Structure 1
C-alpha cells in the first residue's frame, strides 16, 4: 500500500478530485501529517467517509527504529530504520551550535562501488521513495525531540542514481506545507554523474551541490571510484561550472584523505591547481576505516598541511569534524554490521 508521505500537495489534491472529495481536504490532511498522530482516524476535522477512503488507499506508517545509538563523544545519534518491506537503512543526526543536521540515505545499499565506502559492498537493493527519504527526517525529529534544520543527502546510496525520487523529496521537504526546510540548508552529494549534475542545475534550486572527488587524476580516481571510468574529472568540472553559472552557488568538493594513496604534498598542490579560480570549497574528510579494506586514515598533522597548501592556492578549505566515530557513523557501517549479526 502506498505511503501518503510519498504524495505532494498537488498529487493529494488530484486524488481528492478523483475520489469525489473537496480539494481543500488535501491541505487538512497534509497539515495532520506533520503533527504527532499515528493514523488517519486521529485527523479530527475529517469526515468519517474520507477517513475510511484514506485507510483503504494509504498507510502513514513510519519506519521502525530498529536500533538507536548515541555517541558518548559528541552526542551524535545513528538510527537503524526498518522500512515497510523489511529493508534496513541508516540516518545520522548531528548536533551543532547552528542547529541540528541529519544525514539521510537515498537508496537501500548502493551500486557505485567506491572502494572506501561500506554502503556499496553488497550493492544496491532498491531506490527509496520520496516519502521514505522524508520519513527519515520526521523520525529523526521525533527521536531528538527537536527540530532538524539542516539536511545532507550523503548517507547510503547515490542521490543522482535515484534522481526523480530525490527531486520530489527536495520539493516536499522545502514546501511550506511540509517541513519548510530552506533549500540553502540542504546539501546533496554525488560521486559525479555528469548528465544529472546538468539536469540538477536546470532545476534552478538553491541547494548546495557536493562532489565526491577524492583524486586529481582520472587514473587514480578509477582505482577507488568506478564512476570515473564513465566520466572524467574534466567533464565533472565542466558540469560544475555550468551549475555555478546557472545557480550562482558555489560547489563543494569532498576529498577523502587516504594515507599514502591521495594525501601527499604533490596531491595537495595538484588539487589546488585543479580548483584554483573556481567558485568552490573543499571539504577534507579523514576516511572512516572499515574492516573490508586496508585503507588507513591520514595523520591529523598531515591533514592540516594539506589544507594549508590548498588555501595557498586560494581554495577555501575546511576539515570535516569527525563525529560519531564510536557508533559506526559512516555510511553503511551500521546496516552492514547489523545484517552480519542476523545471519
Structure 2
C-alpha cells in the first residue's frame, strides 16, 4: 500500500474500504492526522491496538520534523523541514497581529530557475505529496502555538506543476473538519503556467490566484523567467481571462522591481495595459538580494513612484510587506543552505 499522506481524502477513503474497514474509519483517521496532527497511529486512542498495528503496515504514516529554525527580528520564523526519505524543504511562518500566515512549499527545490530567486539555483528534487504540504502548516502551528489563519504557496517549487497533489492538500486545509482555513485565505502562486491556470480554474473553489509576472514586456520577462519563455504573455492573458470567466475571481500580479530592468516608464505602461485587459490588481515586491544574482532592488523611491503611476491609471496596487529578509526567509530567498542538517540530526 501507499503511505497514507500520499493519498487524497477520497483515495484514503478507498484504501480504508479496501482493508474491509467501515467507512467511518476514513474520516476518523483523517481527523487524527490532519485535525489533531497525530504523528503516529499509536496516538489514535479510539482505535484498537491491532488496528493501529495493521494500519502502520498497510498505510505507513510518516511525519516530517523541523531540523532548523531561525527567528527574525520581526517575529517571522523560517524552518527547514525534513521528510522521511531525507529530502528537505523550507517554510516560513509570519505573524501579523492576531493572524498567522504560513508560506509553504509544494516541491523540494524548483525547476523554474527565475533569475532573482535562490530556490531555482538549487534545482528540482521532487514533488511534495498532499500530507507533506499540510504537515508544514501543522508544524508551524505547533511551534508558534497559534492557529494558522492564512496560507500561501510561495515557498519552494512551482505549485501548478504539482497541481494534483496541491489540490488534495488544499481540500484538507479548507475542510472545517481538519484545518478549516477559508478558501479566500488560501493563495496559490504560479510563475504563469498557462495550462496549469486553466486546470486550476476548473477546481471551482474560491482560492486566490497570484501570478508572478515581473514584466509585461515579453523580452524582459524571458530574461527574468527563462523557463516560461515558451509561454507568450498573450497566452497567459487569455488563460487569466478564462480563469476570471469561470471563477469570477480577480488575479493578483506579483511584480518584483529590479533596478534598471523592469522599473521604467515603458514597463509601467505595459503593466497598466495588461491590468486593463484582466480582472487584476498588482502586488509590488522590493527585490531581496541573493548572492547568486547580480540584480539590485530599485529602491523605495522608485517603488513608491511605480505604485503612484499605477494608481493614477486606476490600477489597485500595493507594496508587499516583506518579512524575514534578515534570516533569508523573504521572497526569492528560500533555499536549503543548511540541508545537510537533515542527515546530521
Q: Please state which band the TM-score falls in when normalised by the shorter chain.
A: over 0.9
Cα separation, 1, equivalents of 2:38 and 2:133: 19
Q: How does 1:4-19 map to 2 (within 5 A)?
A: 4-19=4-19
- Kindly state the Cα deviation for residue 288 of structure 1 after the two structures are TM-superposed: 0.9
What corresponds to 2:64 in structure 1?
63
- Kindly state the Cα deviation for residue 268 of structure 1 after the two structures are TM-superposed: 1.7
SS of 1:137's equivalent in the other structure is helix
Q: Deviations over 1:265-306 (max 9, x none)?
A: 332233123312532110000111000011001110110000
SS of 1:154's equivalent in the other structure is coil
Q: TM-score, normalised by structure 1?
A: 0.94
CA gap 1:273/1:27 in 2 versus in 1, 3 angstroms: closer
What corresponds to 1:205 in structure 2?
205
Cα separation, 1, equivalents of 2:113 and 2:181: 31
Cα separation, 2, equivalents of 1:51 and 1:336: 35
Q: Deviations over 1:5-63 (max 9, x none)?
A: 33334323322221122221222212222325432122111122211111112333321
Cα separation, 1, equivalents of 2:227 and 2:49: 52
What corresponds to 1:192 in structure 2?
192
Q: Deviations over 1:233-277 (max 9, x none)?
A: 111111101111111111000000001111113322331233125
SS of 1:84's equivalent in the other structure is coil
CA gap 1:134/1:38 in 2 versus in 1, 3 angstroms: closer
What corresponds to 1:106 in structure 2?
106
Q: How does 1:1-343 map to 2 (within 5 A)?
A: 2-33=2-33, 34-35=35-36, 37-72=38-73, 74-97=74-97, 99-276=99-276, 278-330=278-330, 333=333, 335-339=335-339
Q: TM-score, normalised by structure 2?
A: 0.94
SS of 2:122's equivalent in the other structure is coil
Cα separation, 1, equivalents of 2:340 and 2:261: 29
Contact kept in structure 1, 2:5 and 2:62, CA below 8 Å: no
CA gap 1:301/1:69 in 2 versus in 1, 3 angstroms: same
Structure 1: 5+ residue stretches without partners: none
CA gap 1:278/1:335 in 2 versus in 1, 3 angstroms: closer
Query: RMSD value over aligned CA atoms?
Result: 2.0
Cα separation, 1, equivalents of 2:328 and 2:161: 25
Cα separation, 2, equivalents of 1:245 and 1:42: 46
Cα separation, 1, equivalents of 2:258 and 2:80: 27
SS of 2:338's equivalent in the other structure is helix
Structure 2: 5+ residue stretches without partners: none
Contact kept in structure 2, 1:109 and 1:332, CA below 8 Å: no
Cα separation, 2, equivalents of 1:332 and 1:50: 45
Cα separation, 2, equivalents of 1:192 and 1:186: 18
Cα separation, 2, equivalents of 1:229 and 1:277: 21
SS of 1:335's equivalent in the other structure is coil
Contact kept in structure 2, 1:5 and 1:135, CA below 8 Å: no
Indicate the larger mover: 322-331 or 86-95.
Answer: 322-331
Equivalent residue pairs, number = 342
- Kindly state the Cα deviation for residue 232 of structure 1 after the two structures are TM-superposed: 0.9
